[in-house]
């Protein structure tokens, strides 16, 4: 659904104020405790952010891609773990249900997901299947009116909180690559599921990723999401959306990093004047502004194209690649502007510098984005 422009601007303004007045003041607590405070979760729920991509008929906001990107620009101005807390429930963990789910599946899960009463996780990656996701080995064997799942999934965001997992498994083991992969909706309380202890990471405090082990997990045939054998195609469709979403996250962080750099440069004095007066500092700020502006424009354009029904696989990959790489470059410049102060925890850039590094890896690494872009470009000109 496309909301009226004035309604959208009110929502964007509310999220902008929430990010600056609630999320940023909570960043230090999150860094120290590795948990998202309860009052933050309640605020995210009240704003409806758990249901951004869920249709209104199921209790969500039903936002278009462009509207979603506008909100993500604002919420991602704060450290990315806040966005990560509700992002999977909006993106890959939910889009499959919205796009491919039966009416029964939608009624069962979407209303609870939209309010944040339930959270979702997306189980695609495995210990030996990362960028080459079509090589996954988790198996789903038909047994009467049920399937039995066995396998291990890795780097699963919000697994410790999830009430439902979208699990990708091979239902046709003789089919090579993606052809034999299907998707299943698996409830957290199903016997045989083990969620491992979250990893200890270099950044993204407050966002938890874990291994999820499925041992003889028995699910009804009605848990199949879409037709058998279409799971990989559906996963890629969700990832096209997720990559635009992640590019929007990078844009929000680019803006935050730039603002941190400008603030410090105008306050810090050396040789009797603010370092912002020095041309080499100005050059770093100017480059960062140009890249932030370009990334924002790319995401807005690709989002509008997606809303218009155009294929955006190439555009989403371009956006994700450019915006996340730009965020990395800007973080490096801003830390350099801070000098030694940027290397101590008193300043936000120390934490943001570590956080932003992950953006170039997950939802498809920068190198995979280059491959997708080139593949689509060559295909268009064949």
Mean pLDDT, residues 93-111: 95
pLDDT tens digits for range 258-288: 999 999 999 999 999 999 999 999 999 999 9
| CA gap 36, 119 in Å, rounded | 14
pLDDT tens digits for range 143-202: 999 999 999 999 999 999 999 999 999 998 777 678 899 999 999 999 999 999 999 999
The answer on pLDDT for 132 being more than 90 is: no
Q: In order of start, what are the domains of the chain with their CATH numbers? A: 5-115 (1.10.540.10), 120-229 (2.40.110.10), 233-380 (1.20.140.10)
For the ranges 143-152, 232-241, 302-311, the lowest mean pLDDT is seen at 232-241
Mean pLDDT, residues 311-334: 97
With beta carbons less than 8 A apart as the criterion, state whether 131 and 175 touch: no
Identify whether 21 is a catalytic site residue. Answer: no
Q: Which of 67, 315, 363, 376 is catalytic?
A: 363
Per-residue pLDDT, 2: 54
Q: Which residues of 306-341 are buried (b: 16+ CB within 10 A; e: fewer)?
A: bbeeeebbbbbbbbbbbbbbbbbbbbbbbbebbeee
Q: Which of 279, 285, 300, 208 is nearest to 254 (CA)?
A: 285
Mean pLDDT, residues 84-103: 90
pLDDT tens digits for range 16-75: 999 999 999 999 999 999 999 999 999 999 999 999 999 999 999 999 999 999 999 999
Per-residue pLDDT, 3: 57
């Amino acid at each position: 659904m496309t909301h009226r422009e004035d309604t959208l601007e009110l929502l964007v303004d509310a999220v902008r104020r929430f990010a600056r007045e609630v999320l940023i003041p909570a960043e230090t607590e999150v860094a120290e405790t590795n948990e998202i405070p309860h009052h933050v979760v309640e605020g995210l729920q009240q704003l409806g952010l758990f249901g951004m991509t869920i249709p209104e008929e199921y209790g969500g906001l039903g936002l278009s891609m462009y509207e979603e990107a506008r909100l993500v620009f604002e919420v991602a101005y704060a450290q990315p773990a806040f966005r990560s807390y509700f992002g999977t429930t909006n993106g890959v963990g939910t889009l499959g249900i919205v796009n491919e789910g039966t009416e029964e599946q939608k009624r069962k899960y979407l209303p609870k997901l939209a309010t944040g009463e339930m959270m979702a996780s997306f189980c695609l990656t495995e210990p030996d299947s990362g960028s080459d996701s079509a090589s996954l080995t988790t198996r789903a064997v038909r047994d009467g009116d049920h399937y039995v799942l066995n396998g291990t999934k890795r780097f699963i965001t919000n697994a410790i909180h999830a009430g439902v997992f979208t699990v990708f498994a091979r239902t046709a083991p003789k089919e090579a690559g993606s052809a034999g992969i299907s998707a299943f909706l698996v409830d957290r309380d199903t016997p045989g599921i083990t969620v491992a202890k979250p990893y200890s990471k270099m950044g993204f405090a407050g966002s938890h990723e874990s291994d999820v082990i499925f041992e003889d997990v028995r699910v009804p045939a009605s848990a199949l999401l879409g037709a058998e054998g279409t799971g990989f195609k559906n996963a890629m469709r969700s990832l096209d959306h997720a990559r635009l979403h992640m590019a929007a996250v990078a844009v929000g962080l680019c803006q935050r990093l730039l603002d941190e750099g400008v603030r410090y440069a105008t306050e810090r004095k050396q040789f009797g004047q603010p370092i912002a007066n020095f041309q080499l500092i100005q050059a770093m700020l100017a480059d960062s502004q140009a890249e932030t502006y370009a990334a924002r424009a790319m995401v807005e354009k690709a989002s509008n194209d997606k809303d218009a029904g155009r294929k955006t696989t190439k555009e989403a990959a371009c956006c994700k690649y450019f915006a996340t790489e730009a965020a990395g470059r800007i973080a490096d410049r801003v830390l350099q502007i801070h000098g030694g102060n940027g290397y101590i925890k008193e300043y936000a850039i120390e934490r943001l510098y570590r956080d932003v590094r992950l953006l170039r890896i997950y939802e498809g690494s920068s190198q995979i984005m280059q491959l997708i872009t080139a593949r689509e470009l060559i295909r268009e000109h064949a």
